[in-house]
Amino acid sequence: MLVAALWYSGIGGAVMLTLAVLAHSAASASLAVIGALWLGMALIGRGRYRRLAQDIIVSGDSVIFTAPGRVVTVPVVDVVEIRRPWNRQADLQVRTGSAGTVRVAGHLNGLVVVAAELVRLNPEIRLVGL
């Protein structure tokens, strides 16, 4: 769903830029600015999507975060904190000792079960805002 929205936003921005180039009128300047913003937002969103973990797998004594562009594996003892930002719509942040902060999709199914399993394996994990 997110990929389709980014795709249509990028297409819309490219179409606006093309129309602005073809129009050569006073209104084409604002069309070019709006089109460039749409295209830029689509490119930024695409990059963020590739780094956003879509799945968390707890396997033995390690945690595997899978994203479309990368896979991060950390030991359970390295997970320091799981934080949900104040607005509840943003992505979760999982802070680790070795891999830094891993962003996880906020709409992850089974998040409570995964968090409970992580806390069972490492009782020192802080859960903030969950």
Element spanning 102, H or E: strand 101-104
Would you state the structure tokens that stand for residue 60, as one six-digit string? 């033995």
Give residues with Cβ within 8 angstroms of 77, minimum separation 6.
61, 122
Q: Which residue has the tokens 């595997």?
A: 64
Distances (CA, A) of 130 to 80, 100, 127: 15, 20, 6
Say which range, 25-29, 39-43, 75-79, has the weakest mean pLDDT: 25-29
Average pLDDT, the chain: 78
Amino acid at 19: L
Reported pTM: 0.67
SS3 88: coil
Amino acid at 72: V
d(Cα 75, Cα 84) in Å, to the nearest integer?
Answer: 21
Asked whether residue 3 carries a pLDDT value surpassing 70, the answer given is no
Q: Is 79 exposed, middle or buried (0-12, 13-18, 19+ CB in 10 A)?
A: buried
Task: Report pLDDT for 94.
Answer: 87
